[in-house]
Amino acid sequence: MALILSIDTSTYGCSVALHDDTKRLACYELMTEKSSSAMLTLLIQNVVAQTGFRLADLDAVAVAKGPGSYTGLRIGVSTAKGLCFALDKPLVAVNTLSAMAAQIRHFFPDTHLLCPMIDARRMEVYCAVFDNNLQEITPVEAKVVDQDAFSDVLSQRPVVFFGDGAQKCQVALGEYSNALFLPETVFPSAKTVGLLAAQGFDNQQFEDLATFEPFYLKDFVTTSPKKKMTVSAY
């Protein structure tokens, strides 16, 4: 038995789940603005207490490491690291896009590829292409989507595009018969972060709490009259 608390604040809203190995015991999700900063601690307390456990009972804490919103990732990772330091528990980090792909993999045959997309503003998305076993076909990247952006994979196999960045890409990619778009938005969730974290726990894929940072993926450059500062950003 490995009791794992999972946190996802990668995008809009936040979610917290508790898993006993791969069995989900509880999950709380809020899809409201600034919920990660205002409600995350309360969700953590509730998901643990209402399943009859204490924070001290945890074997590990898992967090969606990104890519995603700079502010959201910073809040989620800071909270997860704080819990691990206080409880002396290991931290397992899960790629947000991998966890999104895990949400829909069982709804499609092995012939289909999965492309989760997180909106990165304008025509750019954070994305990767996975097979049904969650193996990367194309790596995680910040990609500007045009008609040729996925031509290599779309010429070979059906690709399911989903996530809050997929809708704006439908016009550019819709001419491909192999391009499939889900009718509803799939958001990152602690439900599948916990599932993938169970595998990481079994393999002892733990992060160094002193050095671990979110996977921001790209830099945002802001300039002030006095100085120029580069920070990783959404």
Domain match, 72 and 110 both: no
CA atoms of 11 and 33, how far apart (whole Å)? 10
> Do the Cβ atoms of 230 and 219 come closer than 8 Å?
yes
State the number of CA atoms in the 13 A half-sphere of 63 facing the CB.
33
Domain match, 144 and 160 both: yes
Give the pLDDT means over successive 10-residue stretches in the chain (234 positions): 95 93 95 76 94 97 96 95 98 98 98 97 94 97 95 97 95 95 96 97 97 85 40 34
Domain match, 93 and 192 both: yes
The structure's pTM equals 0.91
Element (H, E) at 137: strand 136-144
Structure tokens at 89: 């528990």
Total domains present in the chain: 2
Domain match, 32 and 55 both: yes
Q: In this structure, what are the phi and psi dihedrals at residue 203, rounded to the nearest 5 degrees? A: -90, 5
Domain match, 13 and 87 both: yes
We report the CATH number of the domain holding residue 156 as 3.30.420
Pick the last residue of a domain from 181, 199, 221.
181
> Do the Cβ atoms of 30 and 52 come closer than 8 Å?
no
